[in-house]
Amino acid sequence: SVGITGEIGFVDLDGPEVTLSLEGQFWHRRETVLGRAAQWLNACMPEITAVNVGDMDELKDDVEELDPDTGALMESYSRKSPDFNGDRST
């Protein structure tokens, strides 16, 4: 195991538009993961016109949690899996 725990979930289908969720850690950038999921869905169902996430924050690879009162940085972490062999480029 190299720490890749990412999951793509189905959220909603509204006409030709699909909403997915991204959770966990992915090897590739989260935008890349969403793009590849969209390609796969379009190959299976050409009628799909858009594939999105419900919350745009799900596409952030690096997350910063701020204190709601002061705005100070409380925690910063990556949602990427570890680069165990040093060849990550996407």
pLDDT digits (tens, 9 = 90+) for 14-44: 999 999 999 988 888 999 999 999 999 999 9
pLDDT at 3 over 60: no
Mean pLDDT, all residues of the chain: 89
The answer to whether the beta carbons of residues 53 and 31 sit under 8 Å apart is no
C-alpha to C-alpha distances, 54 to 5, 66, 70, nearest whole angstrom: 20, 22, 28
